[in-house]
Amino acid sequence: MNKTYTYQNPDLIKRSLDTLSKILTKKWAIMEICGGQTHAFMQTGLSGMLPDEIELIHGPGCPVCVTSLELVDKAVAIASSENVIFTSYGDMLRVPGSESDLFSVRAAGGDVRVVYSPIEALQIAENNPDKEVVFFGIGFETTAPSNAISVIKAEERKISNYSMLVSHVRVPPAMHAILSAENNRVQGFLAAGHVCAIMGLAEYFPIAEKYHTPITVTGFEPMDLIRGILETVRMLEEGSTSVVNAYKRVVSPQGNMQAKRIIDQAFVECDRQWRGIGMIPMSGWKLNTVYAQYDAELKFDVENIKTHESEICISGLILQGIKKPYECPAFGTQCTPQNPLGATMVSSEGACAAYYRYGNI
Amino acid sequence: MENNKFENFSCPLPIPLNGQVAIGHGSGGTLTKNLITSVFYKYFHNPILDAGNDFAEISAKGSKIITSTDGHVIDPIFFPGGDIGKLAVAGTVNDISVSGAIPKYLTASFIIEEGFPIKDLDQIAQSMQQCALEADVKIISGDTKVVEKGKADKIFISTAGIGFLKNGLIINGSQAKPGDAVVVSGTIGDHGISVLAARNELGFSTTVISDVAPLNNMIQSVLALTHHIHVMRDPTRGGVATTLNEIAMQSKVNITLDEEKIPIKKQVHAACDILGFDPLYVANEGKVLFILPEREVSTLLKALHAHQYGKNAVVIGSISQSSNSPKVLMHTRIGGTRIVDMLSGAMLPRIC
């Protein structure tokens, strides 16, 4: 029996679900912060197997969904410029901006390319010295180290035609924002395992303490997810609040020191707009002054972008866990993965897309 | 001029073609004829093609005629397990074969980018002929156009096919019935993953080779033994998920798959995990989905297992019920259930 199989073993899963049912005495609303976990809950069918007492609230942990409209519009503007090769992770291409998306820019003749890492984008810059190559640097703490490395390498290799449109966001400030909101319903958190693998656990203790909310660092296989819920429910039922690491095979308490050093070398904390949620103070990273020459927002004239969001889309309420995708009047009718009105319908990690694809049984 | 004598007049020598396709090769003149004779006729020749007309004459002998046409564009044009030529022949052969018909003739139309190496064209034509030979089909007419550099990506091939269907055989997407079993003829996703890796853009390599193959012989050996196949379809672009959704809608039924039973090579699984793809949506070029009554499943599997392209055939699900809102469901490995939707637009890799 290989390891992955163990984490997907139907008997173990059934036993754990039985244990969960036994310790439950009332309803609990638990937020999985990470879009990868939302996807895994739906794709494996696990969400439908959980006891009725557990309400999953899908968090804002999909970097595609929370990238601000303003930055998507800036990306569209830069990608439409002459002499630019615009590179991005694949699922950003379909995210609707105010007027257009990156796919449409490509269809209109723009040079928009899907890459799997910023290092590829850097390579494209090196191979095309007469072009400006821009990488759409989105993501949480997980993608920050590789994005940081791309500008560090650009400087080392004296590549001046490379820049990054940075839209980095951080999980802990978002948890603060959710828990301090007036209409918050979240009682416990599954923290994103891969984010913690980079950053460690230190940032989560003050959150658990301040809001009396248990937090369990959770992985992505079905058994990981159940374990995350079990630990969280155990704390909720006991009335204890702590940070439990249920993903020890990947996450160490101090995180990945080398990755953190690389992030610190290139980035500095900043306020950041989250699509559908609004501005969250100090919730993002931008390039620091040492690497400012690689900041696409400074390199290109995109200061005065006017944005307007679809009036129907309720992705903001969905990202905060206040509404479920099927409570949106446009869900599955006006808004589908083919014709998304909001970003949550685009990425496979977006809650609306996950519901559209896997839910609705 | 010295001694009042003219030098011999001569036209400026044309620049040697360096083994590349030139615009002139698409002119319809001598160059075109040379290219056709030296490359295409060399491999494809048969009495109907050799007649040299712009049309081809065939006779039907009281069967139903099945036709199909397919344009082939692929990057890269050579990939592990095949090339655009094999794909162009096998693709159309398979589209005709899944109707139950026996494919007999193909036509081929080439759109070639100026500068394309003739040795590559030769290799493509050769692999078309090998595939046609295996499928026992003849390429009976064709067309060649050359477009300016940059106006096409190397080479595009459109093939059309003609096949003959025994009267009385009704196999199509609207015949699936509740209680039927769903069988796939082998592992899924091999073609898509091998082509993706061959592009060399994603920084991963794999030992998976494309499954591209003409399936008519296997299908005919199946039809010789079974009598009640309701649906056959090759799950090409959009993969098994999209094909089954199409069938569910055509037949107005729900289809239920069993995740555990779907045959996927370990390497394909791993590549999909890393790249953020779902193997159910990855293209196949040498697989067939069969939908048929439960009682005939063992006969079908026996026939498939005896064939080189059907060795890993297995039941992956069933038609669960008639439905006015047809869908494809899947019992997941861990005991849950989820919807398997159609692919919407291009398959996009996920960020993390």
Task: List the single residue in B276, B332, B352 with the smallest CB-CB distance to A139.
Answer: B352
- What pLDDT was estimated at residue A85? 97
pLDDT band (50, 70, 90) for residue B350? low
pLDDT at A323: 85
Which residues in chain A are contacts of B270 at CB distance < 8 A?
none
**3-class DSSP state of A61:** strand
Q: Which residues contact A8 (CB under 8 A, 6 or more apart)?
A: A44, A221, A222, A223, B333, B334
Report the relative pairing of strands B253-258 and B314-322 from DSSP bridges: antiparallel
Q: Which CATH number is B180-339's, of 3.90.650.10, 2.30.30.30, 3.20.20.70, 3.40.1350.10?
A: 3.90.650.10
Q: Which residues contact A334 (CB under 8 A, 6 or more apart)?
A: A312, A341
B47 touches chain A (CB under 8 A): no
Please indicate if any CB of chain A lies within 8 Å of the CB of B308: no
**Structure token pair of residue B241:** 């998920």
Q: Say if the Cβ atoms of A347 and B341 lie within 8 Å.
A: no
**3-state SS class at A32:** strand
What phi and psi, each to the nearest 5 degrees, are found at residue B136? Answer: 55, 45
Beta-carbon contacts of residue B344 (< 8 Å; ≥ 6 apart): A336, A337, A338
For residue B295, the model assigns a pLDDT of 97
| pLDDT band of B62, cuts 50, 70, 90 | confident
Q: Does the CB of B341 have a partner CB in chain A at under 8 Å?
A: yes
* Tokens (6 digits) for A309: 């969001």
> Does B335 contact A13 at a Cβ distance shorter than 8 Å?
yes
Residue A139's closest chain B neighbor by CA?
Answer: B351
Angle at CA of residue A277, ends A34 and A186, nearest 5°:
55
pLDDT at B346: 59
The DSSP output letter for A239 is T
d(CA A143, CA B328): 34
Distance from CA of B115 to the nearest CA of A (A): 23
Which residues of chain B lie closer than 8 angstroms to A8, CB-CB? 333-334
Residue A86, both tokens: 């615009």
Strands A188-192 and A215-218: parallel
Q: What is the DSSP string of A264-324?
A: HHHEEEEEEEETTTEEEEEEEEEE-GGGGGGBHHHHTT-TT------SS--HHHHHTTSS-
Residues of chain A contacting B330 with CB distance shorter than 8 Å? 45
ipTM comes to: 0.75
Q: Across the interface, do A338 and B330 touch by the CB < 8 Å criterion?
A: no
| Distance (Å, whole) CA B19 – CA B33 | 16
Task: Tell me whether residues A47 and B333 touch, CB distance under 8 A.
Answer: no
Encoded tokens for A10:
């139907």
| B329 at A interface, C-beta within 8 A | yes
> Between chains, do A94 and B202 touch, taking CB under 8 Å as contact?
no
Is residue B29 scored above 80 in pLDDT? Answer: no
**Is B338–A14 a contact, with Cβ atoms under 8 angstroms apart?**
no
pLDDT of residue B16: 46
Task: Give me the pLDDT at residue A138, please.
Answer: 93
Question: What confidence tens digit (pLDDT) does each residue in B329-338 have?
Answer: 999 999 999 9
Closest C-alpha among A214, A212, A221, A213 to residue A245:
A214
Look at B351 and A120 and tell me if their CB atoms are within 8 Å.
Answer: no
Residue B349 and residue A356: Cβ atoms within 8 Å?
A: no
DSSP readout, A77-133? HHHTSTTEEEEE-GGGTT---SS--HHHHHHTT-EEEE-SSHHHHHHHHHH-TTSEE
Q: Which of B201, B202, B337 faces A361 most closely, judged by CB atoms?
A: B337
Sites in chain A below the pLDDT cut of 70:
1-5, 348-349, 359-361
Put simply, the answer to whether B334 touches A49 (Cβ < 8 Å) is yes
If you count residue pairs, one on A and one on B, with CB atoms under 8 Å apart, how many are there? 99
> What pLDDT, on the 0 to 100 scale, is given for residue A131?
97
Q: Residues of A near B (CB-CB distance < 8 A)?
A: 8-10, 13-14, 36, 42-49, 63-64, 89-94, 114, 116-117, 120, 138-140, 142-143, 194, 222, 336-338, 347-349, 356-361
Residue B92 banded pLDDT, cuts 50, 70, 90: very high
Give me the residues paired with residue A87 across strands: A113, A135
CATH code matching the domain that covers A65-170+255-299, chosen among 3.40.50.11740, 3.40.50.300, 3.20.20.210, 3.40.190.10 = 3.40.50.11740
Q: Residue B111 in 3-state DSSP?
A: strand
Quote the mean pLDDT of chain B: 88
Domain ranges of chain A: 65-170+255-299, 315-358
**Domain ranges within chain B, ordered by starting residue:** 23-165, 180-339
Give the residue-averaged pLDDT of B27-37: 76
Does the CA dihedral B139-B145-B148-B152 come out positive or negative? negative
Contact list, B335 vs chain A (CB under 8 Å) = 10, 13-14, 45, 49
More confident residue, A58 or B94: B94
- Decide if B332 touches A, using CB distance below 8 A: yes
CATH architecture of B23-165: 2-Layer Sandwich (3.30)
Q: pTM, whole model, 2 decimals?
A: 0.81
State the best of A348, A355, A360 to mutate against chain B, taking most chain B CBs within 10 Å. A348
Tokens of A217: 């660092």
CA distances from A337 to A158, B194, B237 (A): 41, 27, 18
Pick from B202, B336, B352: which is nearest to A142 by CB?
Answer: B352
Of the given ranges (A187-196, B17-26, B66-75), which has the lowest mean pLDDT? B17-26
- The band of B352, judged by pLDDT with boundaries at 50, 70 and 90, is very low
Whats the size of chain A, residue-wise? 361
Q: What whole-number distance in Å separates Cα of residue B312 and Cα of residue B316?
A: 12
Over residues B282-329, the pLDDT tens digits come to 999 999 999 999 999 999 999 999 999 999 999 999 999 999 989 999
Provide CB contacts within 8 A for A9, sequence distance 6+. A1, A223, B334
The beta-carbon neighbor of B335 closest among A49, A64, A90 is: A49
Confidence of residue B190 (pLDDT cuts 50, 70, 90): very high
The reply to whether B23-165 and B180-339 are identical in fold is no
Among candidates A73, A63, A66, A35, which has minimal Cα distance to A279? A66
B144-187: pLDDT as tens digits: 999 999 999 999 999 999 999 887 788 999 999 999 999 999 99
**Structure-token pair, residue A130:** 């007469």
